[in-house]
């Protein structure tokens, strides 16, 4: 992932400033539509954007998986715990290429079960998975023919987990996407590196080991481009559904032009906005570890977030968000028109940590009842935050269904819907009672909006859903 400042190490003010600019541009398209990379993407892929995005917009919830040989040290190097994220261990401690590569010989995830991983995602209510095919450490988590630095040839395990996950996703009805670090590659000569420890860099490309020195253009030609071609051609129809690029250090328009034509190999492919250094080309924007206060109106977007503090597994990070926080995040994001890509970080033995599984199970139980209020919905029509929770909506012929996500259940039996002027067709609780009935609710229009009469007790302690069908499109003062 992009967050690469390690607090325990000195960082220049210039780097912090540059990082802030980088972060802001990752979340909104720049106004310079004359950018060549953007123009090429818009010409070749813009006309099909809405068609390609239909399933993604309906999905709303996906699983991110950060898995690689960094799960072997699990955030600890020579007895020192990382103060950063697990998959950045090599750069955080400037581990020499050969020393880091030796972790591959210890990577033997005999507990990996693709069907089980996909079932965890499906039972959580997730509709797609994005897994790290290659992170910044340069280690391919698939059977690439480019070189032997990959999970099949360099480990005792000799599996291609992407192939097994592709088969499991087809069987269980989920879409599969691949994360690929196109620019940063700390193993192959010429791969880019983040400007993190300038005092120890050996060249202007911010390498710390002479083994990394080389031409970035040759790296792209000999490693990134052929590996991306493999990912787009070797895993069957519909896979990958998404290519998730990251940290486009040094990805000039000319370098992006080496990759953009490959996307035609999968006509329905979706890509995020982290391919080029200006974050212009791509189908959707990618705020990381936070939810934009107002969403990103006019653009497709996806918040990616960890369940604890790290993406790649760290053995000592036990500070997990609660299921309530994660569900409120999902609802908040859906109410602003975005998707939620929630990360798990499996161990080197191939196990998704149980605390993460437990929280996903809780989310799945909620979505089994309330999924209609998330999947296929669009952003709230209310321009201000509702005092008791959030709202999502769907068109229903000429009418509209508003899903009211009530986090703070009213104690007086009255739920105000401020500013709503439409005539009410019907209102009811989405969660059925023991007999399977959905309790109908009385609704009254007034000068300040609509007031609903609700039961004393909330149907759900985390978030209760009220279905409010109104005549026509929402009219809100």
Tell whether 378 is covered by a domain.
no
**pLDDT higher than threshold 60 for residue 193:** yes
**pLDDT higher than threshold 80 for residue 465:** yes
**186 φψ region: left (φ > 0), alpha (ψ -120 to 50), beta (else):** alpha
One domain for residues 314 and 417: no
Tell whether 477 is covered by a domain.
no
281-294 average pLDDT score: 97
Tell whether 363 is covered by a domain.
yes
User: Which pLDDT band holds residue 42 (cuts at 50, 70, 90)?
Assistant: very high
User: Which pLDDT band holds residue 31 (cuts at 50, 70, 90)?
Assistant: very low
Number of domains making up the chain: 2
Q: Which CATH number do you get for residue 441?
A: 2.60.40.1180
One domain for residues 217 and 187: yes
**pLDDT higher than threshold 80 for residue 8:** no
Tell whether 158 is covered by a domain.
yes
Tell whether 383 is covered by a domain.
no
Domain limit, last residue, from 373, 405, 434: 373
CA distances from 205 to 168, 214, 262, 401 (A): 40, 9, 26, 54
CB environment 194-204: b (16+ within 10 A), e (fewer): bbbbeeeeeee
One domain for residues 266 and 333: yes
- Give the residue with greater pLDDT, 400 vs 33: 400
- Cβ contact 332:377 at 8 Å: no
Give residue 403's Cα distance to chain centre.
Answer: 24
User: Which pLDDT band holds residue 1 (cuts at 50, 70, 90)?
Assistant: low
- Convert the pLDDT of each residue in 364-397 to its tens digit: 999 999 999 999 999 999 999 999 999 999 999 9
Round the average pLDDT of the chain to a whole number and report it.
Answer: 93
Tell whether 4 is covered by a domain.
no
One domain for residues 366 and 411: no
- Convert the pLDDT of each residue in 140-163 to its tens digit: 999 999 999 999 999 999 999 999
Alpha-carbon span 150 to 142, nearest angstrom: 6
- Convert the pLDDT of each residue in 301-351 to its tens digit: 999 999 999 999 999 999 999 999 999 999 999 999 999 999 999 999 999
3-state secondary structure 280-336: CCCCEECCECCCCECECCCCCEEEEEECCCCCCCCCCCCCCCCHHHHHHHHHHHHHC
**pLDDT higher than threshold 90 for residue 23:** no
**pLDDT higher than threshold 80 for residue 5:** no
pLDDT score for 317: 98
Range of the domain at 309: 13-373
**pLDDT higher than threshold 50 for residue 4:** no
199-210 average pLDDT score: 95
Domain limit, last residue, from 318, 342, 373: 373
- Convert the pLDDT of each residue in 110-125 to its tens digit: 999 999 999 999 999 9
Domain limit, last residue, from 317, 346, 373: 373
Q: Which CATH number do you get for residue 237?
A: 3.20.20.80
One domain for residues 292 and 420: no
One domain for residues 150 and 241: yes
One domain for residues 426 and 351: no
pLDDT score for 434: 85
pLDDT score for 52: 98
12-23 average pLDDT score: 38
Q: What tokens does 41 get? A: 């993407």
**pLDDT higher than threshold 70 for residue 2:** no
| Half-sphere exposure of residue 273: CA atoms within 13 angstroms, side-chain side | 25
One domain for residues 419 and 360: no
Alpha-carbon span 97 to 103, nearest angstrom: 11
User: Which pLDDT band holds residue 20 (cuts at 50, 70, 90)?
Assistant: very low
pLDDT score for 32: 62
pLDDT score for 33: 73
| Residue 104, C-beta contacts closer than 8 angstroms, at least 6 positions apart | 69, 139, 149, 151, 154, 155
């Amino acid at each position: 992932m992009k967050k690469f400042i390690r607090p325990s190490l000195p960082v220049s003010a210039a780097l912090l400033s540059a990082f802030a600019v980088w972060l802001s541009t990752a979340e909104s398209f720049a106004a310079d539509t004359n950018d060549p990379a953007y123009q090429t993407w818009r010409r070749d892929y813009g006309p099909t954007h809405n068609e390609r995005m239909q399933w993604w917009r309906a999905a709303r919830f996906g699983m991110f998986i950060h898995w690689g040989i960094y799960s072997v040290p699990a955030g600890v190097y020579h007895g020192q715990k990382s103060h950063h994220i697990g998959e950045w261990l090599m750069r955080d401690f400037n581990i020499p290429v050969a020393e880091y590569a030796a972790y591959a010989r210890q990577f033997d995830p005999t507990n990996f079960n693709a069907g089980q991983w996909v079932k965890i995602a499906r039972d959580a209510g997730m509709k797609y998975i994005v897994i790290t095919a290659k992170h910044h450490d340069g280690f391919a988590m698939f059977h690439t023919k480019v070189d032997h630095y990959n999970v099949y040839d360099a480990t005792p395990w000799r599996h291609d987990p992407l192939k097994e996950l592709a088969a499991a996703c087809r069987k269980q009805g989920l879409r599969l996407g691949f994360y690929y670090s196109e620019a940063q590659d700390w193993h192959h000569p010429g791969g880019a590196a983040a400007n993190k420890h300038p005092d120890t860099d050996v060249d202007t490309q911010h390498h710390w080991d002479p083994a990394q020195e080389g031409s970035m253009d040759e790296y792209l030609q000999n490693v990134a481009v052929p590996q991306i071609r493999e990912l787009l051609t070797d895993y069957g129809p519909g896979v990958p559904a998404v290519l998730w690029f990251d940290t486009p250090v040094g990805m000039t328009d000319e370098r992006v032009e080496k990759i953009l034509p490959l996307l035609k190999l999968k006509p329905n492919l979706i890509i995020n906005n982290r391919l080029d250094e200006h974050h212009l080309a791509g189908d959707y924007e990618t705020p990381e570890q936070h939810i934009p206060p107002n969403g990103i109106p006019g653009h497709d977007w996806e918040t990616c977030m960890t369940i604890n503090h790290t993406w790649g597994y760290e053995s000592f990070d036990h500070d997990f968000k609660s299921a309530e926080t994660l569900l409120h995040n999902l609802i908040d994001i859906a109410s602003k028109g975005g998707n939620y890509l929630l990360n798990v970080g499996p161990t080197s033995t191939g196990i998704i940590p149980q605390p993460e599984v437990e929280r996903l199970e809780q989310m799945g139980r909620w979505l089994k009842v309330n999924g209609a209020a998330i999947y296929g919905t669009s952003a709230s029509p209310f321009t201000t935050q509702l005092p008791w929770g959030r709202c999502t909506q769907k068109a229903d012929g000429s009418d509209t269904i508003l899903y009211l996500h009530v986090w703070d259940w009213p104690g007086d039996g009255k739920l105000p819907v401020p500013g709503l002027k439409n005539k009410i067709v019907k209102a009811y609780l989405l969660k059925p009672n023991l007999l399977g009935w959905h309790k109908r609710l009385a609704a009254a229009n007034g000068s300040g909006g609509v007031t609903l009469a609700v039961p004393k007790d909330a149907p759900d302690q985390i978030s209760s859903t009220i279905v409010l069908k109104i005549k026509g499109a929402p009219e809100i003062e």
